[in-house]
Every structure is written in structure tokens, then in C-alpha cells.
Amino acid sequence: MALDSKTDTKPQTFKVIGTRPLRPDGIDKVTGRARFGADMSAPGMLVGLVLRSPHAHARIRSIDTSAAEALTGVHAVVTRADFGPLRDEGTADVLDNCMAGDKALYDGHAVAAVAATSGKVARQALKLIKVDYQPLPHVTDVDAAMAPDAPALHEGRADETVPAGMSGNVMARHEFGHGDIDAGLSQADRVLERTYRTEATHQGYIEPHACLATMNSDGQADLWCCTQGHYMVRNTCAAILGLEQGQLRVTASEIGGGFGGKTTVFLEPVALKLSQKSGRPVKMVMSRAEVLRATGPTASSSIDVRIGMTRDGRITAGFAELRYQGGAYPGSPVDMGSMSAFAPYDLENVRTVGFDVVTNRPKQAAYRAPGAPMAAFAVESAIDELARGFGLDPLEVRLKNAAREGTRASYGPTYPAIGLEATLRTAKDHPHWSAPLGPNQGRGVACGFWFNFGGDTCVSLNITPDGTVTLSEGNPDIGGSRASMSMMAAEELGIPYDRVRTVIADTGSLGQNEVTDGSRVTFAVGLATIEAARAAKREMCKRAAQVWGIDEDAVIWEDGAARPAGPNAGQHPPMSLAEIAAIASNTGGPIAGHFEVNAEGAGVSFATHMVDTEVDPDTGAVKILRYTVFQDAGKAVHPSYVEGQFQGGAVQGIGWALNEAYIYGEDGILQNPGFLDYRIPVASDLPMIDTVILEIPNPGHPYGVRGVGETSIVPPLAAVANSVSDAAGVRMTSLPMSPPKLLAAIQSGTS
């Protein structure tokens, strides 16, 4: 039919895309009506609490739960013994992290849980559980964990990629690159070698993990929880508990931040097990200390970089060895760090080697562009130091080496149209770049890259009898996706934005949906939404053709109505969506469109950040004076949300650069499990973060959309470090640049 040729090309002009409508969840959120993880209750509900290891590393000789079970009001106590063995190694690690097996692997590791009639009884019960621990030597630092004599967490689990003779804590080795590093370095006028370190940082979402589990004796179960992916929760919990996936219905609550940290499970399998054992609904809510001690921060890193540059700014070779500790289990994002480290540059000779290392810390979880910010900190700091050493403009040096369409990326693929050069040129032309600086002030720039992702996606779009549209998607709205989905549906259908309402459906309502990660939702769910709308349009054209008595190929959809394709189709007044919907029952029944895809073509994304700082030379305090983000969004569906993503990434990166850190004592105990001493930036620490949205369309999306949520946290660590190094006159190679560390560096004249 004629419809395809008309709608499968990208609209030249948009009516809804690019506007800034109010967010549909706004009123609920500002009035406190929105229901988050801890806001759900059920009749007869019990309170579940977790007992956690006070040791960094200990063998669990025995757990005596009899006194707790005997306490009035206690309905269930669970330990690892209540869970069966699991074949899949990855799922087994998830379970072991939710409930320790024969060893407690970090301070805060769950060892038992209780469900009781009140929080008070549950707290009493925890005190009655007797755990016989045999403390073991521990290690929390990545380089210490790689020493041959380091205490090993898991014997014999190293991947076959790990060379013989390495510490038993090295789980995997990754290598990427091409060319000849030594040959490249020999062409350089200067070869810079530096070691960079970053500390583990937490995603810092304000909402703690929370869930309400109900498991019936007939094998059906329901779970309400705060998550970035309720399908993942369903599949993981079903595997751990031995349930059929279809029997476990998971509903996602509103989410008070995730940033990657809610892409796995912590409480959910435990709550289900407690419910199964007690026969009652069980609600569990973590305290802030539990969130910091036992949920995923990101990896800490130690990175050696070797880069050669000619005096005119050409990079002749780039090498990095990246060592990331990802906590007590394999799977640190060192592979993605190794792939992304040199991704912004067109290099003849480039190689990265990454080591995945386990330590006695909580299992790392994804954090916004997992693995990339630390790698960018190392590489972008080294490039900056080389450029400044030659007296070259750091933006010019980056432009000279910038990857572009056709560049073979350091991690393998050849880039299609990308936006890096555009961000660099726009940055160079921006008034920020030429603004004057005062005493003790400095300016830094850095680039960043992220892959972006698509993945399994399933949406359903329904036309109601009165001509409004409901869209069901399966990804929790963590960044305004209900608004952007409604906008894409409205654009495609040619109806106003406020005629579309998007809901987050439970796992019983749609097919599999990948977690909200990889900046995938606006891209992949958006693509599916557009395709679902197109399917609905085809159906509506068919209904109009039926009414008009003409061939359905002779009907097109334009401006929210079905119309005859041309004069040959006959003279029929257009039928609007509402008119077609009103008679749907008489023309074949309800009208809907749906779409299922494993979306590909997400389109990589680049950013350049520019930041001015002022350093107090007497205290080492850093003030962020001005910050500008330049990033390629492909196409900004809702520019305010895109700006919000740019700003949020920059702010989290500023926190990472300046003050945020997991602080461990000699005893391996986390010293700062609270927001007082785990310092995320507060509003008064920050200037308005300026943003410049660039739009280099992604060929893989009908409207050109690229994910924007993660790239924005990649450059700020290096951008802030380059700025502070400029302001303080000393090169800072270790994060966070906390005042004591920076003051010591200033006083000794070197970092």
C-alpha cells in the first residue's frame, strides 16, 4: 500500500519532536503521590530485614537461627541453606551476593534475613541470630589484590584469558587495539607515561532499594519493586527461586534514581523466599547504610597510560593497561573501559589491556557508561598534559586526532556518521572557550564516548474508542521516557501530545524487555513506539478503505487522518483517528499496533566538556565556576530532558572528580556509609551547567535519535582534573581531588 513509501522516510519537519511539553508524571511527583518502592502495602504484610556481615572477609562456620525463630512475631528466617544450588555461574553469583554462602566476602554482605510483624521485632530477631565467623585476611585495593600473595576470594575461577602466575583475584584479561605500539611511540617527539587512579563511587540514587513480595502456595507470585528492569527482576528471581517466569508477575514502582545501580537484584529474591516461607506478603526497604555497604558502587581503577605525540599534536601511539576491581565477584566493567579509552581518536597504533580483579568489596553494579569515565580520565589527562607541554591548544590537538566517519575504532568497528568533531568545533567557537580567567582559576576540556545500546523491546499501542491513545512499554521511566514515548507516538500519528498516555506495563502485559540501560530507551523503545504507531496507522487506513469501499493501498495517513491517496482513489473527506476509533467496533473491532524487536543500530555518542575551576591555594578547596557540555543527541526528542541528562552526567562526574569515594580502613570496613561522608555535590556546589545540543542524526533510528544518558558522565572526571591542574599548577592524577589531597599536592609542588 501507499502508506509505507510515505511514512518510512524520516519526516522533514517535526510537530511534536523537539518541543518541551510538561512531564506527565510531574504532578504526582511534586505532590508526593507517586508511589515508589517503599510506598506499597498489602494486608497481613510482614517487615523483612537483613543481617549483614561485620567482617570484610570471613568463613561462615555456622548460623544458629533458633532463638530468632522462637521470638514471638517472627514468621520466617532465611539463610543461604533455604536456596537451592544454581547451575548458571552468573546467576549463582547474583544469589551469593544477595545471601552469602560459605563465606562473607565484604563488609555488609547479607548472611541471613527475617520477616516479622514489625520492624522492632525484626530488629530484635536479627540480634538473636548467632553467626560463627572465622575472619580471613582481606584485600580492598585493586593493585594490592593483584599482588601474587594477596588473599584470594575465589580459588580457581580465573578465566582462560588470564596468564599463568597472576594473582588468583584476577578473573579475566581483555585486549583491544591494532597497529604497532612501539613503532608508533618511536615516531613521537614525547612519550608520556603516567599512572592514574580513581576511587569507587556510588550511583547515589536518592531512593533506597525496596520491594513487596507475595508468594502463594500455588506457585504464583507477585513482586512490586523499585528497579530499572522488572523483566530482569522476573527472570533472575525465577531462576533463583526455581519458578516459571510466567508465574512471577513483577510491577515496577516509580524510581527515585538508578543510574545503572538498579539493573540487578539485592532484596527481591530474599523477600520472595521470606514470603514463601511465611505465607505472608513481605516488604523490605534498605537503609541508606545498607545501600552504600551492600549495593553496587562502580569499580575503582588503577590505569597506566603511555601515549606518544609529535610536537605538532599528532598522537603516534596510545597504550593503556587498565586494572579495575569490581568487588567480590567477576564482572568489573574493565572490558568496556578498555574498549572506550581511545574510542574518540583516529589512531594508527592503539592497544588496551584490561584486568578484571575481585576484592573484598560489594559487587560493583553498572554506573552510567560503566567503565568509561575512569578510562577517559586517564587518557584525556595524558593528552591534555602532552598538548599543554607542547604549548598546543588542547581542543586543536583533539580535533587533529578526532575519529570521524570511516575511522576504525580502537575497539574494532568502523564508525558511521558521528558527532565528535562537531562537539569540538562548537566548543572552540563557544564564548566559554575565550572567556578570561582570574588568579587561581583554570580551564579544562575533555572528550568522552559511549557505545549506546538497543536490545529486546516490546511495546503495545492501543486506540481507545474515544480516539485517545494508550501506549504500554516495559521500561521503568528513569529519565522522562513516558513523555518522550508519548511525543514519538503523537508525532507519528499526527495527534496532539496530550492525547497519548504512556504507562509502564508489568511483566504480565508485554513480552521481554531489556533493562533500562545502555541509554537504550529513547532509541529502542522509541523505535518500537514509532513502528507500533505505524502498525496502528496501517490498520486505520484499512478501516477507512473499508468504509470508503476502496482498496486499502489507496489510503494514506497524513496529519492525523486517513485520506485517499490521490484523485484516482475517489473523493472522500479525511477520516480522523477519532472518527475511525469511534466506529472501530463496526469495522472489525479494537485497533492496536504493537512491535517487537531486538533493536540494533543504537548509534555511538560523543561529547566534549569544558569547565572552569578556582582553587583555594590555602585549603585545596575547588569551586566549579563555569561548565559547558557539548554533546551529540542525534535528535533531541524533548530537549529539556536531554539537557537534564547532560547536566546530570556532568554533576555526577564532578562529584566523582572532587569528593566522592568509598573509604576503607585497614580493617576492610567501609568508613562512610552515609550521605554525610559520602559526599555527592549539593546544589550550592554547582553553577548552572550550560548545555549545547548537537544533532547529527543516527541512521539507525527513524527520527535520528541517539541515547544521551551515559556519554555525559564520561568526560567530566578528566575535564575537571585538567581544569584543576591548570588552576593549581600541579598535575592531579588521582581522584577524588579532595581538599587534603589537592593541598598536599600544591604544597609539595607535585602530585
Count CB atoms within 10 A of the CB of residue 676: 8
Q: How far apart are CA 251 and CA 235, in angstroms?
A: 13
71 forms part of the interface with other proteins (CB under 8 A): no
Shortest distance, CB of residue 614 to other proteins, whole angstroms? 13
Backbone angles phi, psi at 400, to 5 degrees: -60, -30
Smaller CB separation from other proteins, 562 or 654: 654
- Among residue numbers 77 through 116, which ones bind other proteins (CB under 8 A)? none
681 forms part of the interface with other proteins (CB under 8 A): yes
32 forms part of the interface with other proteins (CB under 8 A): no
Q: How far apart are CA 659 and CA 677, in angstroms?
A: 9
Smaller CB separation from other proteins, 475 or 659: 659
3-state secondary structure 231-273: HHHHHHHHHHHCCCHHHEEEEECCCCCCCCCCCCCCCHHHHHH
C-alpha cell at 652: 555526577
744 forms part of the interface with other proteins (CB under 8 A): yes
676 forms part of the interface with other proteins (CB under 8 A): yes
682 forms part of the interface with other proteins (CB under 8 A): yes
592 forms part of the interface with other proteins (CB under 8 A): no
Site string for other proteins, 111-140 (x = CB under 8 A): ------------x-----------------
Shortest distance, CB of residue 224 to other proteins, whole angstroms? 24
Tell me which of 66, 134, 161, 287 binds other proteins, using CB under 8 A: 287
Whether the CB-CB separation of 702 and 533 falls below 8 Å is answered with no
Residues 6+ apart with CB under 8 A from 626: 432, 435, 611, 612, 687, 690
# residues contacting other proteins (CB under 8 A) = 25
Residue with cell 510515505: 6
Smaller CB separation from other proteins, 122 or 420: 122
Tell me which of 184, 620, 634, 644 binds other proteins, using CB under 8 A: 620
619 forms part of the interface with other proteins (CB under 8 A): yes
Residues 6+ apart with CB under 8 A from 127: none
Smaller CB separation from other proteins, 324 or 678: 678
Shortest distance, CB of residue 658 to other proteins, whole angstroms? 8
Shortest distance, CB of residue 355 to other proteins, whole angstroms? 28
261 forms part of the interface with other proteins (CB under 8 A): no
Site string for other proteins, 701-740 (x = CB under 8 A): -------------------------------------xxx
Smaller CB separation from other proteins, 290 or 335: 290
618 forms part of the interface with other proteins (CB under 8 A): yes
Residues 6+ apart with CB under 8 A from 154: 168, 171, 358
Interface with other proteins by CB under 8 A: which range of 133-141, 448-456, 593-601, 674-682?
Answer: 674-682
Q: Where does residue 314 rank: exposed (0-12), middle (13-18), buried (19+ CB within 10 A)? A: middle
Q: In the chain, how long is the greatest CA-to-CA distance? A: 87
Tell me which of 190, 408, 430, 679 binds other proteins, using CB under 8 A: 679
Angle, alpha carbons 325-363-125 (nearest 5°):
145
Could you tell me the sign of the dihedral formed by the alpha carbons of 489, 491, 497, 499, in that order? negative
Smaller CB separation from other proteins, 412 or 687: 687
206 forms part of the interface with other proteins (CB under 8 A): no
Smaller CB separation from other proteins, 682 or 688: 682
- Among residue numbers 627 through 666, which ones bind other proteins (CB under 8 A)? 658-659, 663
Smaller CB separation from other proteins, 415 or 675: 675
Interface with other proteins by CB under 8 A: which range of 109-117, 209-217, 579-587, 616-624?
Answer: 616-624
Tell me which of 412, 677, 687, 699 binds other proteins, using CB under 8 A: 677
Tell me which of 42, 289, 353, 583 binds other proteins, using CB under 8 A: 289
C-alpha cell at 142: 585493586
Burial 542-555 (b: 16+ CB within 10 A, else e): bbbbebbebebebb
Smaller CB separation from other proteins, 425 or 679: 679
Alpha helices in 41-186, H assignment, sequence order: 66-70, 89-98, 119-128, 142-145, 181-186
Tell me which of 621, 639, 690, 729 binds other proteins, using CB under 8 A: 621
Whether the CB-CB separation of 135 and 103 falls below 8 Å is answered with no
Helix H or strand E encompassing 558:
strand 555-558
Q: What is the CA radius of gyration of the chain?
A: 27
Smaller CB separation from other proteins, 186 or 747: 747
685 forms part of the interface with other proteins (CB under 8 A): yes
Question: Between helices 716-728 and 739-748, what is the axis angle to 10°?
Answer: 40
Interface with other proteins by CB under 8 A: which range of 450-458, 510-518, 607-615, 669-677?
Answer: 669-677
User: What residues form DSSP beta bridges with 297?
Assistant: 202
Q: How far apart are CA 117 and CA 130, in angstroms?
A: 21
Whether the CB-CB separation of 418 and 403 falls below 8 Å is answered with yes
Note the residues at the interface with other proteins (CB under 8 A): 123, 287, 289, 618-621, 658-659, 663, 671-672, 676-677, 679, 681-682, 684-685, 738-740, 743-744, 747
